[in-house]
Amino acid sequence: MALRSVTLPQDCGEEAFRRVARSCLAHRLHPDEVIFDSSGTGSLFEPAEPRDVPAILMPRRFVDLASNVVCHSAEDRFALLYRLLWRIHGGERHVLDRAADPDVQRAQQYAKAVERDIYRMHAFTRFRERVIEGRPMFVAWFEPQHRVLQKAAQFFVDRFTNMDWMIATPSGTAAWQDNLLHFGPPVARPPKEDDAVLDEVWQTYYRITFNPARLRVNAMLAQMPKRHWPTMPETSSVPELVRTARNRVGDMERSAPDRPPRFAGVLAERRLGAAREVPAPWDALKEAAHACKHCPLHAAATQMVFGEGPLDASIVFVGEQPGDQEDLQGRPFVGPAGQVFDRALAQAGIDRGTAYVTNAVKHFKFEPRGKRRIHQKPGTVEVTACRQWLQGELDVIKPKLIVSLGATAALSLAGRAVPVTKERGSIQTWGGRMVLVTIHPSYLLRLPDPDVAAAEYDRFVADLQRAKLWCEGAK
Amino acid sequence: MPLNTLQKLEILADAAKYDASCVSSGGDKRNAGSGLGSVTGQGICHAFTPDGRCISLLKILLTNFCIYDCAYCVSRRSSDVPRARFAVDEVVKLTLDLYRRNCIEGLFLSSGIARSVDQTMEELIRVAKNLREQHEFRGYIHLKTIPGASPELLAEAGRYADRLSMNVEMPTDASLSALAPEKSAVEIKRGLARTRSYIDASTEPSRGSAPPARYAPAGQSTQMVVGADRSTDLDILRASSNLYASYSLKRVYYSAFSPTGHASAQLPSRATPLMREHRLYQADWLLRFYGFSLPEVESTLADGMLDAALDPKLAWALAHRDAFPVDVNQASRESLLRVPGLGTRSVDRIVAARRHGKLRLKDVARLTASLARVRPFIVTPDWRPRHLLEDATLRQRLAPAPQQLALAL
């Protein structure tokens, strides 16, 4: 078996490699027969692409992988890619899906190393501002591990479009001027020039933002390897920060509690002295309800949701509890059930603005499930704990009629479990108050059969109409 | 003598460093266009300090004058720290200067409450608005929102910021009222709720021709201080479960309490072990990405605390050995996610690779970070952990030796 050596340019990019690989493949050169040489010496065989071979397809995934792998500095990168291509065309079409395959694994490691190098170039490049021919120019020197300058440059174009800049690396330069990106040959490392922002502001910020109580040097080294330090000015303060961290923490832990400065006392007094007006009884009731901790619901819910409407309303609607939207907005009946309720009210000829709308339980009871809250029916404990707030509202408003929406409202108003479906539409006297019993509008949202839902909705509107008529009659 | 910008930076970066969040991820990807700056989506860490934390944003306070007296905060009014106040233009210039040198992804701006809540919120917004409108700055902006700020100001903040955050600070209302008597848990939650509603509205598919207005495209986050009060890990995880469910938070950050040199008599004088914070993040991840429920995590706690010596997933596996071993070639994604040592990426790679042939132990070794950790819990055609699972010493062998987190340089 004759070995063929294929010479590739030192800065061989993905396209050049693809061209060569294609022609090797067309010549049916086995991977063991080819040596890819990118050292720039020797030129034994330059396979020409035969005209009569059909185009050789390269799967998209291979092209993507190769575009990173060719940038890697490892000598075997081309051989590895060619071997994979050979296998893809030799019956292993899906070899790249086999992450556990040694070739695939190595190629992916190379690709990942290149991606990481690009990321680090984006992260660790530091520009110094210079004035060249009267124009500000931002100049950086960076030493990547692999040949990533070409791939990394677009990021700087996208970000620093309105600046002139130049990044020099040992293998070439990229410059952006007058909205043109230009890649050039390597230049000597530019002398470091003073830049007050990098040398003072940035250094100061780096030093101060470090918290000595959290010293974890290895975590820093893993993310910011020392080989990049020479071009990152902030790292010059690392040794001192590490050396002094322990003592600084010790001093802080031993420091006596602060003597408050004089203005602290003044501020404290001023805050205490801000005379609070005595609230009107209604506001006092609402405030007390806001502070309520009679049951545990206040801990997870956003806020107490009080009733809403004119205090001389002749009709009061009592629901179960605030739901997700009501909890967020702090207003009753504004979620999906609230929308059904509004529609039914309008159809029954009741102006919501003239009615008082509230709930039996004032905090949202739910179970957290990932990014959602699952509504939970309040139990006797919560209903009982919350009862005083509803009664407080009713005592002030003294409505002609209360419409009890659903079982929880009925439980609170009657003080016992009420079979709502049986008693719905009836008007009860509970605790000296007139109450019309009906279902909760959320029940209508849960009915799967549209015919049943429509019929139930009509019954609900009829109940509301009955309430309206009754109130008018009571006038 | 008035302070110069550098002196102010020393004071106001020091006061801001206790906020754990520094990410610049998420948000709408964008390029500079005619302005300056871009957002890549994944975020970039431009440097790491010796605490292993990333510097992504210029994280500063606008002022550390504060009328509140929150015990855990270095800027509380009774703290004897030097005080300073940046002018809007100073912050703008610092941000642009550092951005042009490729030191940062953008700005993280918070503030003490110097006079009133709304006035503070207005000043924060003024900085962001100035950057966006006067300087066409298109980099990342994270604004802190102030509990109790008016809904109009919250709405405005989201127009300029990529991310908004409001810290709940304490896992329980009781702790908050003990340590931050002037803060109100309800006001904080209301702020988070409002921001969520604005975010919801901006991401709803638009019905009309105009797309919904931009609002904090990188979402909102919050933070809890860990170890300043007596709350248990369970208290903290319960609080964060509720927060995640309620306010579409991208992250709940846990910030181990550390002494500031300006101690409050109400607080412990020693730093919370970083390991506690680390375990909380691990448990948080189990709840959000590994399909664990809070009661399942709770079952591994002793006195409400996570085991400092074991990561919570390993702790769960050791307490539920009957759920193992798991067949790597057969098991569902959900059961693979429960295997200690298999992260979401490893699991995805296993699931993809096994479609193309049976995985043997050496294949698994290539797909995971540490085979030794995984091996006792899995089955492959050439491997079965005979007595390993019954082994009483399994815990000792798998729990890492106590490590010194801070090694010399």
What residues of A are in contact with residue B261 (Cβ under 8 Å)?
Answer: 251-252, 255
**Spatial contact of A378 and A320, defined as CB atoms under 8 Å apart:** yes
Q: How far is residue B407's CA from residue A215's CA, in Å, rounded to a whole number?
A: 9
Q: Identify the three-state secondary structure at position A166.
A: strand
Q: How far is residue B379's CA from residue B371's CA, in Å, rounded to a whole number?
A: 12
State which H helix or E strand residue A15 sits in.
helix A14-26
User: pLDDT by residue (tens digit) across B86-100?
Assistant: 999 999 999 999 999
Q: Do B6 and A200 touch (CB under 8 A)?
A: yes
Is A288 part of the contact surface with chain B (CB cutoff 8 Å)? no
Q: Do B359 and A123 touch (CB under 8 A)?
A: no
Q: What's the N-to-C CA distance of chain B in angstroms?
A: 39
The structural domains of chain B, with segments of one domain joined by +, span 5-204, 312-398
Testing the interface with A: which of B39, B51, B374 to mutate, by most A Cβ within 10 A?
B51
Testing the interface with A: which of B14, B48, B225 to mutate, by most A Cβ within 10 A?
B48
CATH number for region A281-474:
3.40.470.10
- Does B242 or A255 have the greater pLDDT score? B242
pLDDT band of B5, cuts 50, 70, 90: very high
Least confident of A333-337, A338-342, B19-23, B78-82: B19-23
What residues of B are in contact with residue A251 (Cβ under 8 Å)?
Answer: 261
Question: Which pLDDT belongs to residue B370?
Answer: 85
Tally the C-alpha atoms within 13 A of residue B354's C-alpha that lie toward its C-beta: 22
Could you tell me where the beta strands, DSSP code E, fall in B98-162? 106-110, 140-144
Query: Chain-wide mean pLDDT for chain B?
Result: 92
Instruction: Please state at what angle helix A380-397 crosses helix A281-290, rounded to 10 degrees.
Output: 170
Is A93 part of the contact surface with chain B (CB cutoff 8 Å)? no
**What is the Rg, in whole angstroms, of the alpha carbon atoms belonging to chain A?**
38
**Spatial contact of B77 and B88, defined as CB atoms under 8 Å apart:** no
Nearest to A220 by CA among A233, A239, A201, A202: A239
Testing the interface with B: which of A252, A271, A286, A373 to mutate, by most B Cβ within 10 A?
A252
What residues of B are in contact with residue A306 (Cβ under 8 Å)?
Answer: none
**Spatial contact of B180 and B71, defined as CB atoms under 8 Å apart:** yes
Contacts of B136 (CB under 8 A, 6+ apart): B33, B34, B35, B36
Is A105 part of the contact surface with chain B (CB cutoff 8 Å)? yes
Q: Is the alpha carbon torsion for A10, A13, A19, A20 positive or negative?
A: positive
Q: Do B409 and A217 touch (CB under 8 A)?
A: yes
Testing the interface with A: which of B134, B246, B407 to mutate, by most A Cβ within 10 A?
B246
The residue length of chain B stands at 409
Q: Do A303 and B44 touch (CB under 8 A)?
A: no
Minimum distance, in Å, between the CA of residue B387 and any CA atom of chain A: 27
Place of tokens 């992804």: B105
What residues of A are in contact with residue B14 (Cβ under 8 Å)?
Answer: 208-209
Question: Which pLDDT belongs to residue A44?
Answer: 44
What residues of A are in contact with residue B180 (Cβ under 8 Å)?
Answer: none
Minimum distance, in Å, between the CA of residue A229 and any CA atom of chain B: 10
Minimum distance, in Å, between the CA of residue A271 and any CA atom of chain B: 9
CATH architecture of B5-204: Alpha-Beta Barrel (3.20)
Q: How far is residue B371's CA from residue B30's CA, in Å, rounded to a whole number?
A: 41
Mean pLDDT in residue range B132-144 = 97
Q: Do B367 and A138 touch (CB under 8 A)?
A: no
What residues of B are in contact with residue A202 (Cβ under 8 Å)?
Answer: 98, 101, 103
Q: Do B356 and A94 touch (CB under 8 A)?
A: yes
Burial class of A135 by CB neighbour count within 10 A (0 to 12, 13 to 18, 19+): exposed
Among chain A residues, the shortest Cα distance to B16 is held by A209
What residues of A are in contact with residue B55 (Cβ under 8 Å)?
Answer: 205-206, 209
What residues of A are in contact with residue B270 (Cβ under 8 Å)?
Answer: 253
CA–CA distances in Å: residue B23 to residues A207, B13, B29, B55:
19, 16, 15, 8
Least CB–CB distance from A370: residue in B44, B245, B270:
B245
What residues of B are in contact with residue A197 (Cβ under 8 Å)?
Answer: 97-98, 101
Question: Which pLDDT belongs to residue B101?
Answer: 98
Q: Annotate A361-376 with DSSP letters as a single string.
A: S-S--EEEETTEEEE-
Least confident of A9-18, A134-143, B245-254, B360-369: A9-18
CA–CA distances in Å: residue A266 to residues A316, B77, B264:
48, 10, 18
pLDDT band of B409, cuts 50, 70, 90: very low
> Helices then strands (H, E): number in chain B?
15, 10
Mean pLDDT in residue range B102-118 = 96
Angle of CA points A424, A426, A429, to nearest 5°: 120
Find residues 110-129 of chain A whose CB sits inside 8 Å of chain B.
119, 122-129
- Measured in degrees and rounded to the nearest 5, phi and psi for residue B109 equal -120, 125
Q: Do A208 and B10 touch (CB under 8 A)?
A: yes
Q: What's the N-to-C CA distance of chain A in angstroms?
A: 110
Q: Where in chain A are all domains bearing CATH 3.40.470.10?
A: 281-474
Going residue by residue through chain A, which has 475 residues, state the pLDDT in tens, using 9 for 90 and above.
567 888 887 778 888 888 888 888 888 889 998 888 877 654 445 555 555 555 677 889 999 999 999 999 999 999 999 999 999 998 888 889 888 889 999 999 999 999 999 999 999 999 999 998 899 999 999 999 999 999 999 999 999 999 999 999 999 999 999 999 999 999 988 788 899 999 999 999 999 999 999 999 999 999 999 999 999 999 999 999 999 999 999 888 888 888 888 888 888 888 777 656 777 889 999 999 999 999 999 999 999 999 999 999 999 999 999 999 999 999 999 999 999 999 999 999 999 999 999 999 999 999 999 999 999 999 999 999 999 999 999 999 999 999 999 999 999 999 999 999 999 999 999 999 999 999 999 999 999 999 999 999 999 999 999 999 999 886 5
Least CB–CB distance from A122: residue in B31, B44, B192:
B44
Q: Do B51 and A220 touch (CB under 8 A)?
A: yes
DSSP-derived letter for residue B255 is E
Among chain A residues, the shortest Cα distance to B353 is held by A98
Mean pLDDT in residue range B81-87 = 96
Is A224 part of the contact surface with chain B (CB cutoff 8 Å)? yes
Among chain A residues, the shortest Cα distance to B182 is held by A271
Q: How far is residue A453's CA from residue A445's CA, in Å, rounded to a whole number?
A: 8
pLDDT band of B258, cuts 50, 70, 90: confident
Q: How far is residue A470's CA from residue A475's CA, in Å, rounded to a whole number?
A: 9
Minimum distance, in Å, between the CA of residue B51 and any CA atom of chain A: 4
Least CB–CB distance from A260: residue in B78, B269, B366:
B78
Question: Which pLDDT belongs to residue B408?
Answer: 44
Minimum distance, in Å, between the CA of residue B392 and any CA atom of chain A: 32
What residues of A are in contact with residue B193 (Cβ under 8 Å)?
Answer: 302-303, 327-330
What residues of A are in contact with residue B110 (Cβ under 8 Å)?
Answer: none
Is A217 part of the contact surface with chain B (CB cutoff 8 Å)? yes
What residues of B are in contact with residue A158 (Cβ under 8 Å)?
Answer: 31-32, 38
What residues of B are in contact with residue A235 (Cβ under 8 Å)?
Answer: 47
Contacts of B9 (CB under 8 A, 6+ apart): A201, A204, A205, A208, B60, B94
Minimum distance, in Å, between the CA of residue A444 and any CA atom of chain B: 25
* Residue B407, pLDDT above cutoff 50: no
